[in-house]
Amino acid sequence: MRTTQIRLAARPEGEPEDGCFETVQVELPDLRDGEVLLRVVYLSLDPYVRGRMSSARSYAAPMELGDVVVGGTVCQVVASRAPEVPEGAFVLSYSGWQTHAVAPARAVRRLDPAAAPVSTALGVLGMPGFTAYAGLLEIGRPQPGETVVVAAATGPVGSAVGQIARLKGARAVGIAGGPVKCRALLDEFGFDAALDHRSPRFVADLKAAVPNGIDVYFENVGGPVLSAVVPRLNTYARVPVCGLIAQYNGTAPVPTSDRLAWFLSQVLTRSLTVRGFIQDEFTRSHGRDFVRDMTGWVRDGSVRYREDVVQGLERAPEAFRGLLRGANFGKLLVQVGEDPTR
């Protein structure tokens, strides 16, 4: 069995150009006891992959040149030497940007296609949904009547943050790029207000949309959106720092001294709680509750989700660049192979 792989060929300077990727075909090894052969159906494209392409110090080790680009996948088992994961089963794997893979059965998690569409294991019922759930409830702790603001609000993390905030009785204000996404925040995801961060009126619109200030700012983007939000934070506001996507392709060092001192003065004088997190720290404490709550909310329609599915592994680099610019509209997936459940 051969697999087509997309590997890291060069580290990006700014946007990851085509030259950062190389496509190769390799023969997979024969299956050993306890292993499964996987056919990738969906590949998840996620912003953190940009960090792994860089050699800069971070919370996880970088990819090495020549590595298959990392990514979560939903796969179908095409051959098995592990009775607990039989041929035909659907699984969640971390096989990365390739069409097929051999994996130990203990490294995959079985999915039930009758319970939810298998693709949701990479989005609302998977890592991004869990990030929203744990970060918002553990760090943000929204209370009834409070105002929660989130950017990248039509994405899998942001859309879940806003909808969970509303389920907890808070007011949800979403920030997104462009009028089409803003309309979806109101009509599709039920946010109370939607703001376009590309509008020249953005700072004034934000002020008008939060007459009682901001109690929770779920930070997904950084950059100018963060600068507009900080002056509106209330005393004792909570800021779960989840991601800074506006800065991921940056090449110049972020100017620090003045802005940092100013920001810390805001933290001090308004008793802000600013807490960064990587979702997997909450797996033990919140994993079970997430599965129970989010499965129920998706099933009864109180949490909705949107997927943006690109066809063909060869389109992954282009789609990934788009993710870092806001070209995606919903959870970005690459359909690598046929999905017989749809």
- Footprint of ligand NAP on this chain (CB under 6 A)? 46-48, 128, 131, 151-152, 154-158, 176-177, 181, 197, 220-221, 223, 225, 242-243, 245-246, 277-279, 323, 326, 328, 332
Write the burial class of residue 223 (CB in 10 Å: 0-12 exposed, 13-18 middle, 19+ buried): middle
- Cα distances (Å, whole numbers) of residue 178 to 111, 158, 182: 35, 15, 6
Nearer to ligand NAP, 47 or 140 (CB): 47
Nearer to ligand NAP, 99 or 279 (CB): 279
Tokens of 271: 């008793």
Q: How far is the CB of 301 from ligand NAP (least distance, A)?
A: 21
Q: How far is the CB of 92 from ligand NAP (least distance, A)?
A: 15
Q: How far is the CB of 276 from ligand NAP (least distance, A)?
A: 7
Q: How far is the CB of 156 from ligand NAP (least distance, A)?
A: 4
Nearer to ligand NAP, 117 or 240 (CB): 240
- Cβ atoms of 148 and 140 within 8 Å: the answer is yes
Could you give the angle at the alpha carbon of 42 between the alpha carbons of 39 and 48, nearest 5°?
120
- Cβ atoms of 104 and 29 within 8 Å: the answer is no
Nearer to ligand NAP, 265 or 285 (CB): 285
Looking only at the bridges linking them, the beta strands covering 171-176 and 2-8 are unpaired
Tokens of 166: 């509303």
Nearer to ligand NAP, 95 or 328 (CB): 328
DSSP E strand stretches across 116-252: 147-150, 171-176, 193-196, 214-218, 233-241
Nearer to ligand NAP, 75 or 134 (CB): 134
DSSP codes, 256-298 = -HHHHHHHHHHHHHTT-EEEE--GGGGHHHHHHHHHHHHHHHH
Q: How far is the CB of 47 from ligand NAP (least distance, A)?
A: 4
Q: How far is the CB of 110 from ligand NAP (least distance, A)?
A: 23
Could you give the angle at the alpha carbon of 109 between the alpha carbons of 107 and 111, nearest 5°?
155
Nearer to ligand NAP, 81 or 141 (CB): 141
